[in-house]
A = this chain, B = another copy of it.
């Protein structure tokens, strides 16, 4: 290896280490830290962020990367050394293009606006939040101006998250999804009492939920000596590296479904990190892939595995063993149906598979209009409610359960919502390959054998980390383009099964 490459890799390894530390610190803050620790923790995190920014934007690293670009140019695409340099150059470019002053303003507004948003949502007070959102939009426009022009300014925001699909491509995708899901939503709305989640209600002490959830995560492939499962308010997954994975969930003692499916979802994320080739440790590509690929994994484990009919043949006795009083007299079919209730609802994070992507379509359209200036912040509630009526046939009774429900905009995060729908679509496309390659999948799930699936995912998706972008990775598997049909078809079939034809 050229000396220059050795040197640049050492720089990147340090950045990897700092990001790992940032991950532990962030996990600790949400899971372990007592509330009074917040203000001084904020200072410490600020210092760490500054140091990471300094390391990334260090001109010396820029020079080394420039030279390294030539060193790796002759390596084949997909070679880890080449990918590491290329991804690092892209990441660094994104940071150096933004003037320090703008970056500071964005981060200052973000921490300020977050607190305002929390209060505004609590008090159903959109007017209090509006000026901060206006500033956030304005700062994002200045951010967009730092980059080369794209066909649509929203494209810049998508690219900042390494999402490779353009606004135009996504517009086509969402139009198909809206058309495709319309009859499904009409069907389930017409027959709202066909299925009930009541079987998941009862009395479930936290510690017992924890023990059961760990058992399921382990069956999916979580390694006991490398993973943790802890309690949090908003479930998330984070990983220091492939050998230190932390998932979190919530434990509602009167409703076990939320924590259970949350655990499966985060297990899917965790398996991605866990499955990255250890040889990629301490490189920029040595983490799980992009937003959309990551979400394809979490939604796959949650929905395509955890809400499938065969899964419940395996799950029922485990539910019964941990909670004999609550599940002793239930059958697998009841649990399956209760896990697949479909009905239009107000809150995205609680939405079912048939309606979820409509929540995203709404945000995708509204975000674009905000960025182009076609929609003023003051007109947001009205626009939101009109689309809720159009896409889902329901009207938010207030802004807290409407336009104020998501944290994302308060932190200046635009363009990430579409990652969730991309995850759903891609997950279903991958699933067609998995069903082809693993013909006994249903029987395996019914028997609690998830490791063949896990190995397929590791081999085809996880192990290369961030070596490939989404499109390249999918093409390598034979998926030439996005296709919402597998997703639509599977959910439509489920809707017909449960809600009648």
Give A residues with C-beta under 8 Å from B: 13-14, 17-18, 20-21, 24-25, 28, 32-37, 39-41, 43-44, 46-48, 50-51, 223-228, 240-241, 243-244, 281-282
Closest to A282 in B: B43
- How far, in angstroms, from A243 to B39 measured CA to CA in the complex? 9
Known A17-B43, A43-B13, A282-B43; judge A36-B228 contact (CB<8 A).
no
Known A18-B47, A21-B48; judge A34-B241 contact (CB<8 A).
no
Main secondary structure of the interface of A (DSSP, over half): helix
Let me know if B223 and A40 touch, CB within 8 A.
Answer: no
- How far, in angstroms, from A14 to B54 measured CA to CA in the complex? 14
Let me know if A17 and B47 touch, CB within 8 A.
Answer: yes
Let me know if B41 and A244 touch, CB within 8 A.
Answer: yes
List residues of chain B with CB within 8 A of the CB of A35.
225
Let me know if B243 and A40 touch, CB within 8 A.
Answer: yes
A391 to chain B, nearest CB (A): 43
List residues of chain B with CB within 8 A of the CB of A240.
37, 40-41, 44
Of B20, B28, B228, which one neighbours A40 at CB under 8 angstroms?
B20
Let me know if B243 and A37 touch, CB within 8 A.
Answer: yes
- How far, in angstroms, from A43 to B240 measured CA to CA in the complex? 11
Closest to A22 in B: B21
A265 to chain B, nearest CB (A): 21
Let me know if B48 and A17 touch, CB within 8 A.
Answer: yes
Let me know if A226 and B36 touch, CB within 8 A.
Answer: yes
A401 to chain B, nearest CB (A): 30
Let me know if B20 and A241 touch, CB within 8 A.
Answer: no
Known A28-B28, A51-B51; judge A20-B36 contact (CB<8 A).
no
Let me know if A40 and B282 touch, CB within 8 A.
Answer: yes
Let me know if B34 and A224 touch, CB within 8 A.
Answer: yes
- How far, in angstroms, from A319 to B133 measured CA to CA in the complex? 55
Q: Identify the 6 closest CB pairs spanning chains A and B, nearest first.
A: A37-B244, A17-B47, A17-B44, A36-B243, A36-B226, A40-B241
A137 to chain B, nearest CB (A): 32
Let me know if B14 and A47 touch, CB within 8 A.
Answer: yes
A148 to chain B, nearest CB (A): 33
List residues of chain B with CB within 8 A of the CB of A226.
34, 36-37
Closest to A33 in B: B244
List residues of chain B with CB within 8 A of the CB of A21.
21, 25, 44, 47-48
List residues of chain B with CB within 8 A of the CB of A51.
51
Closest to A243 in B: B36
29 contacts between A and B (CB under 8 A): A13-B43, A14-B47, A14-B50, A17-B43, A17-B44, A17-B46, A18-B47, A18-B48, A20-B40, A20-B41, A20-B44, A21-B25, A21-B44, A24-B25, A24-B28, A28-B28, A33-B244, A34-B226, A34-B228, A34-B243, A35-B225, A36-B223, A36-B243, A36-B244, A37-B226, A39-B243, A40-B241, A40-B243, A44-B240
A132 to chain B, nearest CB (A): 27
